[in-house]
Amino acid sequence: MITIEIGGPRIFDARKIAMTVEGSMNVLKHYKVIDGPMGRTSKEAGTFFGDTFETIRSTSGGFLELLVDLNDKVTPGQKVAIQRNCFGDIVAEYSASVVGKVATIARDALSEPGSRVMQILYDSTDPKCNPSTCDEPGDDY
């Protein structure tokens, strides 16, 4: 059995559906469940691979202003969100601490303390992604 999760709820996204069908068919062909030529692979599609998430959580309540969006590349120290109180004063700023790609973001502008602001997917085995030894990202990121 294959269980697939794509995109957000109640959204019809023809592009994501087509990619999912192609990828699922590739899996079935790879394992010889069905015959036929392979479709595009993840390498050909430019897929970013990671094995860990950095989760950024709000430290106080307020309104979030996201400075990055899904799939954006981020680097350590890059500011990714600002949080303001009801008077417009900045109460918190959030920055990435890894080289990676934004995988999950909060869509609700109102955030309570401890709420997830975003998750950044990164490769923990890649020295470029390690915050203590981070280099500028190359073309692979």
Where are the alpha helices (H) located in the chain, listed in sequence order?
14-30, 42-45
Domains, the chain, ranges and CATH?
Answer: 1-47 (no CATH), 52-129 (2.40.50.100)
For the chain, list the strands marked E by DSSP: 52-57, 62-66, 73-74, 79-84, 90-95, 100-105, 110-111, 116-122
- Name the nearest CA neighbour of 73 among 7, 139, 6, 5: 139
Q: 60 in helix, strand or coil?
A: coil
pLDDT band with cut points at 50, 70 and 90 for residue 135: very low
Task: Report the percent of the chain where pLDDT is more than 90.
Answer: 70
pTM for the model stands at 0.75
Q: Are strands 100-105 and 52-57 parallel, antiparallel or unpaired?
A: unpaired
pLDDT digits (tens, 9 = 90+) for 77-106: 999 999 999 999 999 999 999 999 999 999
Tell me the pLDDT tens digit for each residue of 33-69. 999 999 998 888 888 899 999 999 999 999 999 999 9
